[in-house]
Chains A and B, each alone.
Chain A
Amino acid sequence: MGKQLMWILWPSFLVGGIAVGVFFTLIDPQELYLLGQPVHWSPTAVYSTGFFLFWAVAAASSALTSYLRHTEK
């Protein structure tokens, strides 16, 4: 289980880091809209939240891959 977690959380951490870097290089957080409203958070809060969102999305993908891999008959 420990290794499973490492294999899910670690690659997604790397990908999340790259994704947040590329995303916010191209898009200024002050130009973002959340549910139709401009985002009023501090840039640090936007970057940090963005990182965790990307990490979570990548982890979900890794978890699915891992699940399929281990339930393969």
Chain B
Amino acid sequence: MSSPQQPPAAGTTEPLEASLYEIRKKIYPRAVSGWFAGWRVALVLATQIAFYGGAWLTWNDRQAILFDLVSRKFYIFGLVFWPQDFIFLTALLIISAYALFLFTAVAGRLWCGYACPQTVYTEIFLWIERMVEGDRVQRMRLDQQAAGARKVGLKAAKHGIWIALALWTGFTFVGYFTPIRTLAGSFASWTLGPWETFWIFFYAFATYGNAGWMREQVCKYMCPYARFQSVMFDPDTLVITYDAQRGEPRGSRGRKADPKAMGLGDCVDCNVCVQVCPTGIDIRKGLQYECIGCAACIDGCNQVMDKMGYARGLIRYSTENAVNGKYADGDIPRHVARPRVLVYVVLLGLIIAAFFGGLWLRSPLKVDVMRDRGAMVRDAAGGRLENVYRLQFINADEAPRRYVVEASGLPGLEVVLPQAIEVPAASTRAYPVLLRLNPAGIATGSHPVTFHVRDADRPEVRADESSRFYIR
């Protein structure tokens, strides 16, 4: 194995092998403010208020959003999902995937830059780091210092706040699977179950490790989307671009100097775009797969351009075609509606319509019919025959329901219920049901029959299930 000092040998077939022990150069992103930074702060706040707060919302006297694994029911506000509703989960995943394709085709890695939990938590952990240790230069200096009381104190404070936040994140995460108020109660009385404790720490550890230590390495080495996003790009996709024609040749100069006389472009080579980059790349080398599209370099460069009195947008959102002069920057919006984007929009629209249509039409009543395995046919009074079934009723409503059962398929078929069919709110109950009939004139053997179940109070809520009736 190679030592960290040795650069990977050029031209070898296995550069990965050579860089296995590469020690990561720690990146100290510099704080940046501006239009895009403002958007990122807004999105970090929005997603995290939704995440940390969402678990505490109440609906119908229960937690509004609860993935109750123990009783195998998912509650999302007024909706209750059962394992039978698996198709909706699948549809939701397909919708997410197509939405990602669409956003990527239009404007690159919007997801990565603004909404991905990896970015969001890295951003939050960086805020804490800045509050405790200061901005870029102060942090670099601190890391180079020998360990002393001040350094140990600052590091302990930073990690302490990180760990506290990570534990709260883990607690909130588990609170979506175990009712969070119960969980808070068990935590306060120190009676958390072993698995709950384990998952809180597991998620907290993942948050702390990913946002505190791994950071951009997750995007660079672990994220599959980062690798295949380029197939969704085309020359009309908005990407963060350095305008080399305008910027080069780069070089430092005084604020009053005339760059034309010095033979220089607009790039003052201040390196701010590199210093603010959370993945440590130089956008001036062109689009690279490490770029998560956070636009920090745009904000940083614009501030420098303002100071120099140059036009903004040396680094900006543009498309490959616009940069190559195929059309002006102002024409970019007209190139958004291209076949690829339209196909994504139509597919996405259809799947979303199907999802909500299915949700709207979803019956709050489901019935499962099982034949009693013990006895095929029983004799009843008056020469009649009985078949025994077990009907399972799933009431997906959040109110108790009473059901009426009828049957068809054979003449004179009679339904015998041992008791009224009542099912509590959002529950499953099974009842034995008898079908009775006079077999005179009907051939022996198996005959198809259908059970018709409907809500006693709302006849439009109904379910039909077929089964067999045996005559001997």
Contact = CB atoms under 8 A, between A and B. Distances in A.
Which of the listed residues B69, B193, B224 has the most CB atoms from chain A within 10 Å of its own CB? B69
A32 interface: no
Given A25-B86, A44-B195, A48-B198, A7 B221 contact: yes
A43 B69 contact: yes
A44 B83 CA distance: 16
A11 B222 CA distance: 8
Nearest to A7: B221
B469 to A, nearest CB: 28
A48 B86 contact: no
A6 B16 CA distance: 13
Given A1-B21, A28-B72, A70-B17, A6 B221 contact: yes
B83 A26 contact: yes
Given A44-B195, A48-B198, A70-B17, A25 B222 contact: no
Contacts of A3: 16, 19-20, 221
Contacts of A25: 83, 86, 89
A1 B86 contact: no
A10 interface: yes
A24 B89 CA distance: 13
A61 to B, nearest CB: 16
B70 interface: yes
Contacts of A28: 72, 83
Given A6-B222, A25-B86, A44 B69 contact: yes
A40 B70 CA distance: 13
B93 to A, nearest CB: 9
Interface string A31-50: 00000000000111101100
A34 to B, nearest CB: 18
Nearest to A30: B72
A48 B195 contact: yes
Contacts of A24: 69
B356 interface: no
A4 interface: yes
Given A1-B20, A3-B16, A26-B83, A47 B72 contact: no
Contact of A10 (B14, B70, B178, B222): B222
A26 B83 CA distance: 7
A1 B17 CA distance: 9
Contact of B193 (A10, A44, A47, A70): A44
Q: How large is the interface on A (under 10, 10 to 19, 20 to 34, 35 or more residues)?
A: 10 to 19
A4 B83 contact: no
Q: How large is the interface on B (under 10, 10 to 19, 20 to 34, 35 or more residues)?
A: 20 to 34
Contacts of A44: 69-70, 178, 193, 195-196
Interface string B418-436: 0000000000000000000
Contacts of A45: 195
Nearest to A48: B195
B221 A4 contact: no
B221 A26 contact: no
B187 interface: no
Contacts of A4: 20
B51 interface: no
A67 B69 CA distance: 37
B199 interface: yes
A70 B19 CA distance: 13
Contacts of B224: 11
A28 B195 CA distance: 19
Nearest to B194: A45
B163 to A, nearest CB: 22
Nearest to B89: A25
Interface in B57-75: 69-70, 72
B70 A26 contact: no
Nearest to B21: A1
A25 B199 CA distance: 20
A35 B183 CA distance: 33
Nearest to B22: A3
A70 B70 CA distance: 43
Given A1-B21, A26-B83, 5 more contacts: A2-B20, A6-B221, A44-B193, A47-B69, A48-B198
Interface of A: 1-4, 6-7, 10-11, 24-26, 28, 42-45, 47-48, 70
13 contacts: A1-B20, A3-B19, A3-B20, A4-B20, A6-B217, A6-B221, A25-B86, A25-B89, A28-B72, A44-B195, A48-B198, A48-B199, A70-B14
Interface of B: 14, 16-17, 19-21, 69-70, 72, 83, 86, 89, 178, 193, 195-196, 198-199, 217, 221-222, 224
Top 4 A-B residue pairs of the complex, sorted by shortest distance between their CB atoms: A44-B195, A43-B70, A10-B222, A25-B86
